[in-house]
Amino acid sequence: MCSLHPDHPSFYANAFLHAPIGIAIASVHGEWAKVNRALCNMLGYDEDELSSLDYRTIARREDLLIADQLVQDMLEGGSTSCSLEVRYWHKSGRTVWISQHMSLIRDEIGNPQCFYIHFTDMTRQRQSNQLYSVITEHSLDIISFNSPEGVCLYISPAVRYLLGYYPEELVGKQHLDYVHPEDKAYLMGRTYSDTDKITYRYRHADGHYVWFETTMKFIRDAQGKVETTLAIGRDISERIKTEQALENSRRNLAEAQKIASIGSWEWDLLTNDVVWSEELMRICDIEPEVFCGKFEKLITYIHPDDLDMVLHNIKRAREGQPYNLECRILTSTSTDKYVHIQGIVIYDSHNKPYKMHGTVQDITERYKMQQLLEETIDRYTSLKKYNPDGIISLDKQGYIVSANPAAQTISGYSAQELVQLHFTDLLHPDDMIRALAWYEQFLQGEMTEREDLSIKHKDGRFINLLITPAPIIIRQQIVGCYIVVKDITDQKKTDELLRQSEKLSVVGQLAAGVAHEIRNPLTALKGFVKLMMYSEHSFPRYLAIMKEELERIELIVSELLMLSKPQTTNLRCMNLKEVLEEVQALIGTQAIMKNIDIQLDAEGDLFPVYCDPNQIKQVFINFIKNGIEAMNQEGVIRIHLSDDSECFTRVQIIDEGCGIPEDKLPRLGEPFFTTKEGGTGLGLMISQKIIEHHGGTMSIYSQLNVGTTVEVCFPTSDIQLEERRAVRA
């Protein structure tokens, strides 16, 4: 161990050399004669360089002026030491701030000998001071130091710009006096931690309030007592405004989503975090408190049957396909909801998807409506497709718009062929005018009955249809018509057969009368022939009678034949009076057997009626026969023919028979209702049908034990109409 004694000659030299502060010994003129290591380090030169250098070359000129002044002062005996700060150029070129203390050393007689100077590097301190002032002087935030009671000790110049005060106006003032009354109570009531952040409104010099956010720090002394508070405040009016605007638009968005039933979502593909809007939670019946924003959880709300489809769509969306689908979601209630999901994928700069966002719309109502609509269409289609009756629709002009399969079967035409036709193209020529008038009436909204019409099948035969119209009303306007078409050809045939069988039974019954009637003239003829056989003379008188009797036989037989032959409807214009005369002749024989006189009285000669004479004859034979059968003794049956009005022709069959009890009246015309042994109970029914077919009406009036009147009215034939028909035919 080696230690140096103060008496050792190198002791002071060593201490000088290794002292931790910079030291220099300078001449009385100020030139450094000896420098130590610490000073060399401060300035970046080695000892030799520095000793040989004139320090003036490495000091700032303006600082040297002061230094020279002080040196001069000391030499002149003004002071023995001084302190000053000098900026030197470090060898590397940077500035070094040095605090320099100089003492003048004199010899025994007091002459100046040299200067002792020590140096302290102040660069770091200067820099932080400078930095500090730059911050406080130039900060856009307001920096202030305050007493623990909140009195302003210092406040930075930014206060002028942000709050309109000069700093000196606020120094010494209590800050709370400037805070908005509503916020003051809050600030005074809260507790503070050592570093804290508060938001409040501060009064501007011109009176309005400015939103501030201030970070506060308590600065404590060694005992932990708060010495001062440092506060850095910034104007957040803009931020508050933006936040409020943001909040407004967020609220508006939520409102809009609610009205439109559209929720929105955002899915971070990297973390699988999902954010939902409030509306989306509402759609899915999820309370915001229990909402878990993880994809794995949210996917469980999708209906299991739709899950694969949804996942497949997500995969495709990540590959660049549009994300757009409809699916069911499970809700806490028992009913599923239908939603429409749309979304887009966001890519990063490496073209990797990192986010998806989009919307979810509740389409349950729309979906249900759509299903209902589809169901209705299905029902409607089934009704048309499988209906055994034909259904065609017509537009207002009467053109066929659609036809169901049954209509195609009935008509023989395909739907394509039918839709090019006007409905009258199919009609039997005889029905044309009636059908047009009927359709016209229907379009005017008048109640129209079902109608019997004949149409021509594609194969040429005529078929009988019963048609029932139904208006097509769209927005309270008749735009066309559905017509339900029933093929009644078979039914008509049955009716015809029925009529025929009734007729045959009438014929059978008539036969007895006929036989009687024929036997009489035959007996007469036989007598005459016998007489003539034995005489050589001719007997013109007998021959005339014979001819008359033969003609009568011929008439009766031919009428009988005509009646018994099955006839198809053969409408033409007839004089009803002539028809009734023939009836009278035909039935006369039977009446005579019972001593009943059939009288025909007509109020005129011409009674044109559009009819099938055979059927009409059958009708009146029925009525007269009933009359005869109702009369037990001789009497009269009157056939009265008259005009009922301009349009109707009336026939009354008035008998003097037993009459019909009142309780039986409603049953007349019922098939097989008869009070007679061997009666068919079909006569009235068939007569009624025939009359209806001719557009006529039938009524029966009866008085017990006095007689019965059957009244029939037919539309009087319009001659003009007949002429038109003739032209068309």
Return the residue nearest Mg ion (CB atom).
683
Task: Determine if 590 is a binding residue for Mg ion (CB under 5 A).
Answer: no
668 binds, among Mg ion, ligand ADP, none (CB under 5 to 8 A by kind): ligand ADP
Return the residue nearest ligand ADP (CB atom).
683
CB of 546 to ligand ADP, least distance (A): 37
674 binds, among Mg ion, ligand ADP, none (CB under 5 to 8 A by kind): ligand ADP
Which residue, 64 or 658, has its beta carbon nearer to ligand ADP? 658
**Which residues sit opposite 462 in a β-bridge?**
456
CB of 376 to Mg ion, least distance (A): 53
Task: Determine if 167 is a binding residue for ligand ADP (CB under 6 A).
Answer: no
Task: Determine if 632 is a binding residue for ligand ADP (CB under 6 A).
Answer: no
The Cα–Cα gap between 83 and 443 comes to 123
Which residue, 339 or 637, has its beta carbon nearer to ligand ADP? 637
Secondary structure of residue 213 in the 3-state scheme: strand
Task: Determine if 481 is a binding residue for ligand ADP (CB under 6 A).
Answer: no
40 binds, among Mg ion, ligand ADP, none (CB under 5 to 8 A by kind): none
The Cα–Cα gap between 565 and 568 comes to 10
Cβ pair 139, 53 in contact under 8 A: no
Secondary structure of residue 463 in the 3-state scheme: strand
Quick one: which segment of 106-114, 133-141, 602-610, 621-629 binds ligand ADP (CB under 6 A)? 621-629
Count CB atoms within 10 A of the CB of residue 464: 19
**Which tokens belong to 208?**
């309005």
Secondary structure of residue 153 in the 3-state scheme: strand
Quick one: which segment of 451-459, 586-594, 619-627, 642-650 binds Mg ion (CB under 5 A)? 619-627
681 binds, among ligand ADP, Mg ion, none (CB under 5 to 8 A by kind): ligand ADP
The Cα–Cα gap between 673 and 671 comes to 6
Widest pairwise Cα distance in the chain: 227
* Residue that has been written with the tokens 């066309």 in this structure: 480
408 binds, among ligand ADP, Mg ion, none (CB under 5 to 8 A by kind): none
Q: Which of residues 644-683 bind ligand ADP (CB under 6 A)?
A: 655, 657-658, 660, 668, 673-676, 679-683
How many angstroms from the chain centroid is the CA of residue 494? 54
Task: Determine if 626 is a binding residue for Mg ion (CB under 5 A).
Answer: yes
230 binds, among Mg ion, ligand ADP, none (CB under 5 to 8 A by kind): none
> Which of 229, 359, 622, 717 touches ligand ADP (CB under 6 A)?
622
Count CB atoms within 10 A of the CB of residue 225: 9
Task: Determine if 683 is a binding residue for Mg ion (CB under 5 A).
Answer: yes
The Cα–Cα gap between 551 and 561 comes to 15
Q: Which of residues 679-708 bind ligand ADP (CB under 6 A)?
A: 679-684, 708
How many angstroms from the chain centroid is the CA of residue 467? 38
**Number of amino acids touching Mg ion (CB under 5 A):** 2
> Which of 104, 216, 274, 630 touches ligand ADP (CB under 6 A)?
630
CB of 530 to Mg ion, least distance (A): 41
Helix (H) or strand (E) holding 204: none
Count the residues in the chain. 729
CB of 660 to ligand ADP, least distance (A): 5
Which residue, 393 or 708, has its beta carbon nearer to Mg ion? 708
CB of 639 to ligand ADP, least distance (A): 13
Which residue, 331 or 564, has its beta carbon nearer to ligand ADP? 564
Radius of gyration of the chain (CA): 65
Which residue, 467 or 684, has its beta carbon nearer to ligand ADP? 684
**Number of amino acids touching ligand ADP (CB under 6 A):** 20
Q: Which long-range contacts (CB under 8 A, 24 or more apart) does 329-338 make?
A: 329/283, 329/284, 329/301, 329/302, 329/303, 330/301, 330/302, 330/303, 331/284, 331/285, 332/285, 333/285, 336/303, 337/283, 337/284, 337/362, 337/364, 338/362, 338/363, 338/364, 338/366, 338/367
How many CA within 13 A on the CB side of residue 442?
27
Cβ pair 576, 649 in contact under 8 A: yes
CB of 590 to ligand ADP, least distance (A): 13
CB of 396 to ligand ADP, least distance (A): 45
Residues of the shown chain interacting with Mg ion in the complex, contacts defined by CB under 5 A: 626, 683
State the residues that interact with ligand ADP by CB under 6 A.
622, 626-627, 630, 655, 657-658, 660, 668, 673-676, 679-684, 708
